[in-house]
Structure 1
Amino acid sequence: MPTVGSKLRHLAASESSLARQVRGALVGTLYTSPASLAIGAIAGSVTAGCIAYASGSLSLLICSIAIHLVGILRIFSAVIYIRRKTVGSPDEQLHWERIYEIGAWLYASLLGAQAFLTLTQSSETMLLLMATIMATGYSAGVAARNAGRPIIAIGQLCLGTLPMAIGLFVTGTPLSITLGLCTIIFMMGMVDISLQTYEVVYTALSGKQEKSEVAARFEKMARSDMLTGLDNRLAMQMRLGELLDAVDPDESEKLAVIWMDLDHFKTINDTLGHLAGDKVLIVTAQRVKAVLGDRGWLARFGGDEFVIMALVSSSEEAGTLGAEILESVSQPVSINENIVEVAASLGVAVAPDHGRQSEIMLKNADIALYHAKNEGGKRVQIFEPFMHEDFLMLRQIESGLTDALENDEFTVLFQPIIDLATGRTKSCEALLRWKHPELGDVSPAMFIPVAESAGLIGDITEWVLRKACEAAAEWPEDVHISVNISPALLKQNNLPVTIIETLVNTGMVARRLELEITESVLLDKNPHTNSLLRQLQKMGLRLCLDDFGTGFSSLTYLRSWEFDTIKIDKSFIRNIGNSPTDQKIIGAVVQLAKSLDVATVAEGVETEEQLSRVREAGCSRVQGYYYARPMTAAQATERLVQEELPDDGPLKIVNQR
């Protein structure tokens, strides 16, 4: 069983660790019932007045006046405390506790002094009885009433009963001495009762506080993103609703909703792992918060998507804010000695211009984001009404792409690439075609970007590779097959595995497969992409630089990479008959390629004059409608068979326009 000493030690320890809410509740118990204070004060005042009057003692009169004044002040302070609306700060709680403590100890001291003076100055039995009963009764009452703050209760017990015990000892009779000892024993018992009561009160309040804190933590968890600490989707939607309700159409202040999505974030997860992806998300959140400051709110919508809400004066200001965020986010992130390039796309909708309801605002911001990504990403797009119809069509295409793979709606056609020296087909380019059940023929220029942004390009490319290699496996061994590879696919790890599996399953050899890549892949200077391309070359695959001459053409590409083929973009071929400049450019590219022992393909040759010009320029191969339109695998096989047949005269070029 715990002793009074151990309880006092526990009291000292608990005093230093009281939570704010628990301490506030315990201090509140002191002021819980102003009525009991009033009753005690009235009883004490009446008793003190009677004793002073009957005894005729000046000291007891002074004591009586002091008891009256202190009692009134204590009642007044309790009324003021009860009228307060809040618990207050820890300093304020301590202030009110000190006020009560001083009043309680002063009042107990006065009652104890009154008992001592009565015992030592009067022999009137009734006066002695009144003084001792008042001191004893008060001490017994405070032991329970003020147990929430046991230091105060123990102080009152000691100050109220010890002077009375001393007075009994001073009297000197055996009975008074015995009663004095009993008073001290009574005081110690009441101290123990106060400590026990405090234990019960403290445990109950601490348990209540712990439950309250747990509930608060769970509520915060329900509204917060565990990784970044930002508001989650639920909290964002609640805040957005409140902000939209506060937007006044007649005021100049508007609310911008910016939906941000990291470009190619899945690639980061696939290549470096989810821990690296998590770090990118955390760094991104920190960067956006630094840009926003107190101008707005940031929430993580889910995955790599974030929603920013900010008060702006116009759509232009919203676009400027989006550009600041984009610039901050689009900085490299260092992860385990790897430098990861990060970029984002942002869609912006502004209330009330683009809507007043949260669902509509989020939808329009999402539509703007979709357009930003469809335009190549790493840009800010402000919502425009015309985007809604485009968005619906793009969504229809996106949903249709999944069905197209399952329902075998895709078709692969093959366009021959002719060797000008022999007039025979040197290679065929695999061209993907898609006829949507409702939209009809959809251009690859439209559905390929959608497939890239939707993460479907890998499955589609795998299907094209398989179909292309199955067809090429039936062709002569000196005829190659070329397949376009999306830049998005080159950021993933599994492309070499996919190609190896395709070659094994179709019986194709690596040297007959040529991968066509665009200059944008090399412009990105992604270390992973560069490593992947070199890995593919080591496997024996051929590399073709497609659409050379457009965008950011650079001779450093030719110096850094051992391409097997360079395709001169059709835009140069189209004007070759009328543009001496284009003729010179083509001639320079061809001469450079010859010096590097690289084949050149002139794309888009459709006329006799164009053929004559590219032949004069020295191009080794041509591709275009002049020789053949894209054809089925069966037609391509038949063409190659015809080319293999013996010819009595000079070799003739087969024209299948």
Structure 2
Amino acid sequence: MLPIALVVAMCLGAQASLFLALTSSQDRMALAGEHELASTALREEQDSLLRLLKDYAFWDSAYQRLSLRLDTAFADENLGLYLAPAHGLDYSFVLDGQDRTIYATRGTAKTTQTALTALGAPVVRAVSAVRRIGPGGDPRVVGFTLVEGHLALFGVSAILPSPDSKMRERPGPRALMILVDYVDAGMMHELANRYRLADLRLTGARPGSSANLPVTLYGGEVAGHLTWSPYQPGTNARHQLLPWMLAVGLVVIFLAIVAVRMGRASARELIASEAKARHLAHHDTLTLLPNRRAFMERLKLREESEQAGILYLDLDGFKEVNDVFGHGAGDALLKAATERLQSIVSWRGILARIGGDEFAVLITGPLAREGAECLAQAVVQAFDEPFETAGHNLSVGTSIGVVFDNGDLSGEEMVRRADIAMYVAKSEGKHRYRAYDPSMERGRELTKQLESDLHRAIGTDQIYVLFQPVVNAGDGRTIGVEALARWRHPDRGEISPDIFIPIAEKSGLIVALGRQILREACQHTRSTGLDLAVNLSPAQFWNDNLFEDITSILEETEFPTHRLELEITENYLLRRPEAAAQVLNRLRRIGIRVALDDFGTGYASVAYLKRFKMDKLKLDRSFVERIANDSEAASVASAMIALGQALNLNIAAEGVETEDQARALRIAGCTHLQGWLFGRPQASSTLMAEIPLSRRA
């Protein structure tokens, strides 16, 4: 018995020792995986704040209205009143070139706190670091600090023009933007759910548990520790099996087999946990696609002389979807777009989400050039179909930049060139693809030159106005005109509005340009008795001085307010309905009429039309072109006209070129017609000479 007992005891001891060692190893491996997840969580929060700083600090409007001069209303709208509720930020600051706080909010409320006093030494060091970063560097820094005894994530960035802007930075010390987000229970709860870290919390002193990660202030000092309840597969297994092993020694073999099997299961679970940690570090959490980091790493792994092509995609109209329907609909749209892209790309390339609404595809191999162009064309065509998601039927296109390489270019340079080509595709009308060409670099220089020339042209006779007649659909009388901006460049000749209007909008010159067009249009048509229609750009509509500018020009030119009609599009209204209603009501109270342009191409509903009380709907020319020959288009146009009639609105159609179109529109119920059939855009003197007084309203 003794030898048997000794053998049994040795077997039990060996089995117990092996089991304890195995389960302890499992606990250690699981803890190592959770440490990597916790590190990933902190990096992701910092990367998210970096992206937010890029969106709001590298922005022409922010540079003009926060750096060059402080526009408090602009700061309230885009920092204090927006960032706190939209992104959960606790502080936002703007510092001038001498590090003086010129704007500060705590949540959505103004505060008199100064950034460098309130945010502590780490932020002072970060500000100094950003100050030392010159042109060509990335002037953004993120880190942790202590604010009123609470750990907080902060980001410091210089306020600069957009990277693709034609605006040049003025010399001198830069203004800075500082954003602060408390590391609070809400953030801990979100990270715990996202990375599956149970009971994740922040503690001051180093906890006794090994499930902790130090959080270091910017500058090196440890300010606290992230701690959590570790997942312990080995300990769980030990607690379940050890009592049975001690109680039932005679079945040691059976228990050993069970222990080994459970150990293997725990090991597989640990491997899966580690794989998940690696996956999260290299993949986007929303779409589950490879992220920018993974995409750039794959580019670096290209074999020398390996042919490669990159498609760089941006969703056209994604921002409008977010503004109108909310970020939930935007996230649903990104998932739907990802599914559609995956079905097209399939095995042909590597699809990644670079950030925001930007995606990239990498194709390698001897047929990379042909494959990339074919794939780009297929993607553009696939986005012709709307997305049915989040209870909405959403139409978005995509602009694509394509670049090819035989192994000579770095991954960063390929992405840069593809990004340039993508923006060229956007500038040419969106929903298309363009392959990179060195001339695109020159095109950017040309755009910068045109912006400079336009700045000098505004206020001179280079900018002038043409007028297109608007007739009564019933009797053909000319009852009004639409003012159209034109630019006669002294060296380049006539510059198309399709070229200089977008330049004016991006550069901020559109407000001054709009004032000049309105003033000249009023002067030329004051004595004609005709109504005058003038388009408003988004920048003009949301300009704080819009009402004062219009009333001043009307008084200066002695133009009757009841003859002025301002044309806007649906996007102005849907972005900020309450503010838009206030602007429209203020204009309408002094007699100015408002027309909704491009009706039928956006998201406006009957409820919005009733709410904003428009005076006229302008049917988009895309319906007019087909109304005489396409029964489906005629039915849609008739339905929209009937809707306007039901709301007691005048209905205008633009782009009328044939008598058949005019006849169909009259039958459908249009009240006003406009197009080449009734007259091309022309100078006021020519127009007035060609319109008999008997035909004027």
Determine which structure has the larger helix proportion and give its number: 1
More strand by share: 2
Higher RCO (C-alpha 8 Å, min separation 6): 2
- For the pair shown, the structure with the greater C-alpha radius of gyration is 1
- Please report the TM-score for the alignment, with normalisation by the length of structure 1: 0.46
TM, length-normalised to structure 2: 0.44
